[in-house]
């Protein structure tokens, strides 16, 4: 089968040039006569790869020098589960804003370790918007304020950065990291899983301000302790070396696309194209998210006539458009249009949607 346009939410599309380069280098990496996944993570060849990966990630996001970068394991869930262990630093309370499935997951995990103050929630309106900061009720004694900057399932995204004063802002940016520039200095910690915009699953990233290190709960497993991992160049245990290598190729591909500013320009065009199709379908398709909070990465939508869902999925797949089934928590359809999904791919989806609506409208 020829390659499809892949709209999966994660694991998700990886840029084709990245896959092709990995294929070329698979049997003989940098003249070693072995693949990158067969060599020691402590040897010079791989430690050079790891250093480059960190430095390219820093360059893309403009990460200030007083922030540490770690590449760990345990997925996005693992990451939000270890935030309280690392960042409570002896405090008993943390503020969380609930904007959807993944914020709620983070709240559930954090509740095991501390009192969680839900400072704001959009649950009563089915997570269709981001509560504005004037409506948040932050506590004065919180160790940190946690947000999910892009809700992969509900399709809401922050296009503004909350102001939390001296209290560190912590963000799960799993599903929109590297889709546009981000002012890292406004955050205490940004983390996420790699399997949307960075590479394969099995890898996570943590960007953490260095003054927040050193206070992990004593029971924190050492491999999940930011400080211990930082002291060991995030190789306290064996990293997922192939995933790290693929992340590195993706970072180089991103730089060649004009970096994050270049990527953002295309991502804006893609989102306008797809939301435009939905909004101009005379109600055949529906997206219920507040316009200013609509995610540029994850676009959930419904067919007005839900009886057409199965046919929509069948015909779209036959047209080379894969991964459009919505998450069961929301239903309907979802198109994830991450960095590796081209404008051409979104145009093909929109052409299909328009033709489908014409046939069945």
- Residues lying near ligand PMP in the complex (CB under 6 A): 10, 75-77, 102, 148, 152, 172, 174-175, 193
CB of 333 to ligand PMP, least distance (A): 17
CB of 75 to ligand PMP, least distance (A): 3
CB-based contact 60:251 (threshold 8 Å)? yes
Nearest CA to 336 out of 320, 324, 351, 352 is that of 324
CB of 148 to ligand PMP, least distance (A): 5
In sign, the C-alpha dihedral spanning 116, 122, 128, 129 is negative
For residue 165, what is the enclosing H or E element?
none
CB-based contact 178:197 (threshold 8 Å)? yes
Residues carrying an active site annotation: 102, 172, 196
Classify residue 253 by burial, with Cβ atoms within 10 Å: 0-12, 13-18, 19+.
middle
The DSSP code for 137 is -
Give CA–CA dist 333/286, Å, rounded.
10
How far is C-alpha 318 from the geometric centre of its chain's CA atoms? 28
Q: Which is nearer to ligand PMP, 10 or 239 (CB)?
A: 10
Q: Which is nearer to ligand PMP, 45 or 322 (CB)?
A: 322
Overall residue count recorded for the chain in this entry: 361
For residue 326, what is the enclosing H or E element?
none
Nearest CA to 10 out of 298, 313, 271, 331 is that of 298
Q: Which is nearer to ligand PMP, 107 or 277 (CB)?
A: 107
Nearest CA to 147 out of 96, 195, 73, 219 is that of 96
Per-position DSSP letters for 310-325, written without gaps between them:
HHHHHHHHHTTEE--B
CB of 44 to ligand PMP, least distance (A): 31
The DSSP code for 285 is E
CB of 147 to ligand PMP, least distance (A): 11
Q: Which is nearer to ligand PMP, 10 or 162 (CB)?
A: 10
- How many angstroms separate the Cα of 312 from the Cα of each of 18, 248, 304? 30, 36, 12
CB-based contact 204:72 (threshold 8 Å)? yes
Q: Which is nearer to ligand PMP, 193 or 332 (CB)?
A: 193
- How many angstroms separate the Cα of 134 from the Cα of each of 119, 126, 130? 11, 20, 12
CB of 308 to ligand PMP, least distance (A): 27
CB-based contact 334:326 (threshold 8 Å)? yes
CB of 72 to ligand PMP, least distance (A): 11
CB-based contact 174:76 (threshold 8 Å)? yes
Q: Which is nearer to ligand PMP, 100 or 345 (CB)?
A: 100
Q: Which is nearer to ligand PMP, 120 or 177 (CB)?
A: 177
């Amino acid at each position: 089968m020829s390659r499809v346009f892949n709209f999966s939410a994660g694991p998700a599309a990886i840029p084709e040039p990245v896959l092709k380069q990995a294929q070329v280098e698979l049997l003989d990496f940098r003249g070693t006569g072995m693949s990158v996944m067969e060599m020691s993570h402590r040897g010079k060849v791989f430690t050079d790869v790891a250093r480059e990966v960190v430095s390219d990630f820093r360059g893309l996001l403009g990460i200030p020098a007083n922030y540490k970068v770690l590449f760990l394991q345990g997925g996005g869930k693992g990451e939000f589960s270890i935030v309280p262990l690392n960042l409570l630093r002896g405090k008993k309370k943390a503020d969380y804003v609930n904007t959807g499935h993944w914020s709620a997951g983070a709240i559930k995990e954090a509740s095991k370790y501390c009192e969680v103050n839900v400072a704001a929630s959009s649950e009563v309106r089915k997570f269709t918007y981001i509560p504005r900061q004037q409506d948040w009720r932050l506590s004065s004694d919180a160790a940190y304020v946690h947000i999910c900057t892009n809700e992969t399932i509900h399709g809401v995204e922050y296009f503004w950065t909350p102001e939390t004063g001296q209290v560190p802002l912590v963000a799960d940016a799993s599903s929109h990291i590297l889709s546009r520039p981000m002012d890292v200095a406004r955050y205490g910690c940004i983390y996420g899983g790699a399997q949307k915009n960075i590479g394969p699953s099995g890898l996570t990233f943590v960007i953490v301000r260095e003054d927040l290190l050193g206070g992990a709960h004593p029971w924190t497993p050492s491999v999940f302790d930011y400080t211990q991992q930082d002291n060991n160049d995030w190789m306290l245990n064996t990293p997922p070396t192939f995933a790290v290598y693929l992340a590195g190729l993706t970072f180089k591909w991103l730089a060649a696309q004009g970096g994050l500013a270049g990527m953002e320009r295309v991502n804006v065009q893609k989102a306008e194209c797809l939301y435009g199709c939905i909004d101009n379908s005379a109600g055949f398709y529906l997206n219920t998210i507040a316009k200013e909070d609509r995610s540029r990465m994850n676009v959930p939508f419904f067919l007005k006539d839900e009886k057409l869902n199965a046919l929509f999925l069948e015909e779209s797949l036959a047209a080379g458009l894969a991964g459009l089934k919505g998450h069961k928590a929301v239903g309907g359809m979802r198109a994830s249009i991450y960095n590796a999904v081209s404008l051409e791919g979104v145009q093909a989806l929109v052409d299909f949607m328009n033709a489908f609506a014409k046939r069945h409208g």
